[in-house]
Homo-oligomer: A and B are copies of this chain.
Amino acid sequence: MPAPQEFLSFVDTNANAFIKRLAEAVAIPSISGDATHRADVVKMGEWLNTHLKAVGVSTQLVDLGKHTMDGEELNLPPAILGRIGDDKSKKTVLIYGHFDVQPANKSDGWNTDPFTLTIDESTGQLIGRGSSDDKGPVLGWLNVLQYHHQQRKALPVNLRFCFEGMEESGSEGLDDLVERESKPGGWFDGVDCVCISDNYWLNTRTPVLTYGLRGLTYLKVTVHGPGRDLHSGVFGRTVYEPMTDLIAIMSKLVDSQGNILIPGVDEMVCAADEEEREIYESLDYSYKDIESAAGGPVALTTDKVDLLMGRMRYPSLSLHGIEGAFSGVGAKTVIPAKVSGKFSIRLVPPQTPEIVDPLVISYIESEFAKLNTKNTLTIENLHGGKPWVADHTHWNFEAAKRATKAVYGQDPDLTREGGSIPVTLTFAESLKVNVLLLPMGRGDDGAHSTNEKLDRSNFIEGTKLLGTYLYELADIQGKK
């Protein structure tokens, strides 16, 4: 069952109204990471709640309690649960999105006011914070719902919604809510599959379905030495210097080519077979895409498959920096007393922080012992999350493939993402159903960067894609 032509026309006809509504949403600076904007996050939740109710969704605001940020105790913005449709003969789809955004200041390098949606008529770009991450996709669902409500058309599936206002700040309180509502009798009881639109195409040309995300383990290695910072003139070559030991340790974690030197970590991941390599081979991508995104000729390889597998299906180890050392401009002759190296490993199945951390810790401890220093070592895990990979042959993905073909006239690329969206795994594990990542925006949207944008065509065709996906879901052979 393809989407009704009437729906597609409705979207085209109402495109300008949809963009106007997106402008309204972007104008609310719902920055979850900034305490002074907490009221705006709440306001944005209320705005969304009002619009959901206006198109026939029954909602419930869920108080997620309090948390501490920058030493201040704050109320968490409520999450919004929504439901529409209870037809036992239809599939039930859970939609997730978030209504908070990353910080943005004109002075960061924005060409326009970040909280005024600016339409660049020449490029078709809708520029503003949250346009692509994640207000555009959330409003895409509103657009789909508006058609059915306004035209009094029944939706082809039952829908459940879960919208949060803390995604950009660790999704505090959400895991508990999802686990609670996934139980029998909970809000998500009876959900057959999940769809999340909160990532991006690999490039600017080809639609994407995403079936994997890397996990993460973030570690802090601290070397403790003298009781206070020392002057290198007075103490140089008389004491064990913590920086020397820390740099020695950090140099043993990863090589310039990206190989992880911790025994057992890279080895834990099986090589890709021919079938899997073909997925990467088929993707519309080139090393020039990564170099253009990175802003420099620094790709590890020109081999497309190796590059894509480096991002999507192999672990990576990045050294982020050092806390406690001299980090300012100029020349300070300090011997820092206590320094902490920060690094993280992106994880892929079967790796988890629980499996990988002990390997890392015992390796670092044994390398540190070889240094024969009188300084001491501590290692902490700052945070982490498991990787996620879904079955991309599932009917949930099949429906999205058909919808993509119908709307864009081309097959979607099947991708895995290098980063993590932790709630994906929570849905997969709590509901034990297939989770699909169905991105609306392009790879160059600049989600967490300056001049974030969503292309007009991605918003409008993306709205058609979301609606069409629901019709294809209803149609496809599968559970229900």
Contact = CB atoms under 8 A, between A and B. Distances in A.
Nearest to A213: B233
A418 B310 contact: no
A256 B251 contact: no
A318 B419 contact: no
B371 A256 contact: yes
A31 interface: no
A236 B318 contact: yes
A373 to B, nearest CB: 4
A318 B298 CA distance: 30
Contact of A311 (B234, B243, B344): B234
Contacts of A331: 218, 220, 320, 342, 344, 382-383
B418 A234 contact: yes
A238 B307 contact: yes
Contact of A316 (B232, B319, B326): B232
Interface string A376-399: 000000110000000000000000
Contacts of A310: 236-238
A371 to B, nearest CB: 4
Interface stretch (A72-80, A174-182, A221-229): A221-229
A152 interface: no
A329 interface: yes
Given A228-B295, A238-B300, A419-B234, A327 B321 contact: yes
A247 to B, nearest CB: 5
Contact of A296 (B227, B233, B250, B319): B227
A233 B325 contact: no
Contacts of A337: 295-296
A323 B243 CA distance: 14
A236 B311 contact: yes
A420 B231 CA distance: 11
A13 interface: no
Contacts of A371: 256
Most chain-B CB neighbours within 10 Å: which of A295, A321, A417? A321
A334 B322 contact: no
A299 interface: yes
Nearest to A225: B298
A352 interface: no
Contacts of A372: 256-257
A330 interface: yes
A346 B231 CA distance: 11
A258 interface: yes
B239 A290 contact: yes
A315 B239 CA distance: 13
B239 A298 contact: yes
A399 to B, nearest CB: 27
Contact of A333 (B233, B297, B318): B318
B320 A418 contact: no
B325 A327 contact: yes
Contacts of A298: 225-226, 239-240, 374-375
A320 B295 contact: no
A294 interface: yes
Interface string A411-437: 000000111100000000000000000
A216 interface: yes
A214 interface: yes
A358 interface: no
Interface string A335-360: 11100001010100000000000000
A330 to B, nearest CB: 7
Given A251-B251, A321-B322, A322-B321, A236 B333 contact: no
A300 B237 contact: yes
Contacts of A240: 256, 298, 300
A323 B319 contact: no
Contacts of A235: 290, 293-294, 311, 418
Ordered nearest first, which 5 A-B pairs have the shortest CB separation? A227-B295, A233-B419, A236-B316, A321-B326, A321-B325
Given A244-B256, A299-B374, 8 more contacts: A232-B318, A233-B418, A233-B420, A235-B294, A237-B300, A238-B311, A250-B251, A256-B373
